[in-house]
């Protein structure tokens, strides 16, 4: 049996920060605390001066496979994920073909089993016409059902009122929504094009994909969920106005939860002049006041989860004029470093970061035996070096698209090592390409 001893780590877990050793056997955490004198594990690692956190569970990524592999693959982006301390991901259905049948969905799982170094799950994609299939999704093996209530990359808009009613009434599992009102956005887009032609300034994006468009759609989703008693998770909240739709009740009993993404917590409208269409994304990055409100909602537990919405596009695609440049930016390699910089700025406590990025996705989706440093749980762990700053450069970006909106930024911390199921998958700046993650399983109590 393979054993691994992590010694003298400063653990941040379940609201506490404390010094302890961790013994891992066959990928499972066996003991947390002082290890018996004389114990010698197969591998011993001294983590003095380092922080040990549960690996992040990123509940919203786009890894582009199948069909969009000129942008990214499951293999390439899973490598970037583990280099950033993300040990499990939940991937979105807007691939080509989209994951809107059980067969297409299972093909993605098979591809991940063969190529992903991180643990994985894939959302089933709702359409205007596949409610009968959606009803058959297995809640113990699939993270949730994704509903584009606003259209974004890919053509997956669900806007038939009767279909939405049916989804909220019958979904066998958690419903995750992208909320933006498409008719309002189309009008604003047309007005912007009439004024500027193709070269609409990127800073207009937050006014085109407006606060009102977000609010209209997310308030509709919340109303549908309340009326049907559905389990709703509203993805990527970007506006102060939407925060009133959610509550700070204890996560375990909540029927309606919300997510914020690192780019909306990091960037604001003052970033558009420098980064332009690189930070064009849906929903849009909005004002500093909106950012302050979502930071505050995350701190108070009104927003439950932090994710990335990692959405890579090639440089060439992003370099086009506003009207043609696709929305989305690559982020999955840096969420923890972003959040730890925000901790250094006094925006969050580190315990809150661990709660929202590691524990909360596990609780909210009912992920089995992950998301916490607990005896009997899988050893999905990230080691942070708080003494070693890290600069994002062209050489250390692992995304297939090869760019990051954070290039040139120096973070205060670095990712020292990552373990997935007890296996060291990232160490000394290198990914262990021989290792494969596991399919996430769920307790199925999310309906």
Active site residues: 309
Q: Which of 76, 218, 238, 327 binds ligand DOR (CB under 6 A)?
A: 327
Which residues, in sequence order, are CB contacts of 195 under 8 Å at separation 6+?
none
Q: Which of 115, 116, 121, 153 binds ligand DOR (CB under 6 A)?
A: 153
Which residues inside 295-314 make contact with ligand DOR, applying CB under 6 A? 311
Least separation in angstroms between CB 210 and ligand DOR: 15
Nearest C-alpha neighbor of 217 from the set 184, 259, 187:
184
* Sequence-ordered list of residues with C-beta below 8 angstroms from that of 297, at least 6 positions apart, any chain: 237, 243, 246, 258, 260, 303
Q: For residue 62, state whether it binds ligand DOR (rule: CB under 6 A).
A: yes
Pick 313 or 370: Cβ nearer ligand DOR: 313
| 284 touches ligand DOR by CB under 6 A | no
State the nearest-atom distance from the C-beta of 310 to ligand DOR, in Å. Answer: 9
Contact assessment for residue 127 and residue 156, using Cβ atoms and an 8 Å cutoff: yes
For residues 390 and 414, the answer to whether their CB atoms sit within 8 Å is yes
CB 148 to ligand DOR: min, Å: 7
Which of 233/436 has CB closer to ligand DOR? Answer: 233
407, containing H or E segment = none
Q: Residues touching ligand DOR: how many (CB under 6 A)?
A: 11
Q: Is 281 in the site for ligand DOR (CB under 6 A)?
A: yes
Residue 415: strand pairing partners:
384
Task: For the CB of residue 67, give the shortest distance to ligand DOR in the complex, in Å.
Answer: 12
User: By CB under 6 A, which span of 40-48, 130-138, 323-331, 345-353 interacts with ligand DOR?
Assistant: 323-331
Report, in Å, the least distance between residue 178 CB and ligand DOR: 5
Name residue 58's beta-bridge partners. 89
187 near 245, Cβ under 8 Å? no
Is residue 178 at the binding interface for ligand DOR, with CB under 6 A as the rule?
yes
Longest dimension (CA), the chain: 75
| Candidate ranges 36-44, 322-330, 363-371, 429-437; the one touching ligand DOR (CB under 6 A) | 322-330
Among positions 98, 328, 405, 437, the unique one binding ligand DOR when judged by CB under 6 A? 328
Please report whether residue 352 would count as binding ligand DOR according to CB under 6 A. no
Which range, of 7-15, 103-111, 210-218, 325-333, touches ligand DOR by CB under 6 A?
Answer: 325-333
Closest separation between CB of residue 81 and ligand DOR, Å?
A: 16
CA dist., res. 265 & res. 245, Å (int): 19
- In total, the chain counts a number of residues equal to 447
Distance between CA atoms of residues 401 and 380, nearest Å: 27
The nearer residue to ligand DOR, 156 or 164, going by C-beta atoms, is 156
* Closest approach of ligand DOR to the CB of residue 356, in Å: 20
Q: Which of 291, 263, 282, 309 is nearest to 409 (CA)?
A: 263
Tell whether residue 152 is a contact of ligand DOR (CB under 6 A): yes
Output 178 or 254, the one with its CB closest to ligand DOR.
178
Contacts with ligand DOR, residue ranges (CB under 6 A): 62, 94, 152-153, 178, 281-282, 311, 326-328
């Amino acid at each position: 049996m393979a054993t691994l001893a992590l010694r003298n780590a400063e653990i941040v877990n379940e609201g506490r920060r404390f010094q302890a050793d961790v013994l891992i056997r066959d990928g499972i955490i066996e003991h947390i605390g002082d290890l018996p004198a004389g114990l010698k594990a197969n591998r011993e690692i001294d983590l003095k001066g380092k922080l040990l956190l549960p690996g992040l569970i990123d509940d919203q990524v786009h890894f582009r496979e199948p069909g969009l592999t000129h942008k990214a693959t499951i293999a390439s982006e899973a490598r970037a994920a583990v280099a950033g301390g993300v040990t499990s991901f939940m991937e979105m259905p807007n691939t080509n073909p989209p994951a809107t049948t059980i067969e297409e969905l299972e093909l993605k799982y098979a591809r991940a089993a063969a190529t992903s170094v991180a643990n994985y799950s894939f959302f089933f994609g709702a359409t205007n016409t596949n409610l009968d299939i959606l009803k058959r999704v297995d809640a113990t093996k699939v993270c949730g059902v994704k509903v584009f209530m606003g259209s974004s990359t890919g053509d997956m808009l669900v806007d038939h009122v009767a279909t939405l009613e049916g989804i909220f009434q019958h979904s066998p599992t958690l419903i995750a929504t992208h909320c933006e009102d498409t008719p309002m956005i189309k009008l604003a887009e047309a007005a912007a094009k009439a004024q500027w032609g193709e070269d609409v300034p990127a800073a207009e994006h937050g006014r085109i994909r407006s606060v009102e468009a977000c609010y209209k759609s997310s308030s509709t989703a919340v109303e549908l969920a309340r009326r049907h008693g559905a389990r709703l998770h509203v993805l990527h909240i970007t506006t102060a106005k939407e925060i009133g739709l959610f509550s700070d009740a204890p996560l375990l009993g909540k029927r309606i939860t919300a997510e914020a993404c690192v780019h909306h917590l990091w960037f604001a409208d003052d970033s558009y002049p420098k980064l332009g269409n690189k930070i064009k994304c849906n929903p849009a990055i909005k004002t500093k006041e909106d950012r302050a409100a979502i930071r505050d909602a995350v701190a108070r537990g009104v927003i439950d989860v932090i994710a990335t919405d990692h959405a890579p596009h090639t440089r060439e695609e992003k370099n086009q004029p506003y009207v043609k440049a696709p929305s989305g930016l690559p982020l999955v390699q840096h969420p923890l470093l972003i959040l730890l910089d925000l901790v250094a700025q006094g925006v969050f406590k580190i315990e809150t970061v661990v709660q929202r990025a590691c524990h909360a996705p596990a609780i909210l989706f009912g992920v089995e035996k992950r998301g916490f440093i607990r005896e009997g749980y899988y050893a999905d762990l990230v080691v942070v070096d708080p003494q070693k700053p890290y600069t994002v450069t062209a050489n250390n970006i692992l995304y297939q698209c090869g760019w990051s909106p954070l290039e040139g930024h120096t973070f205060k911390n670095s990712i020292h090592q990552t373990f997935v199921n007890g296996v060291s998958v990232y160490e000394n700046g290198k990914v262990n390409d021989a290792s494969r993650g596991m399919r996430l399983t769920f307790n199925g109590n999310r309906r």
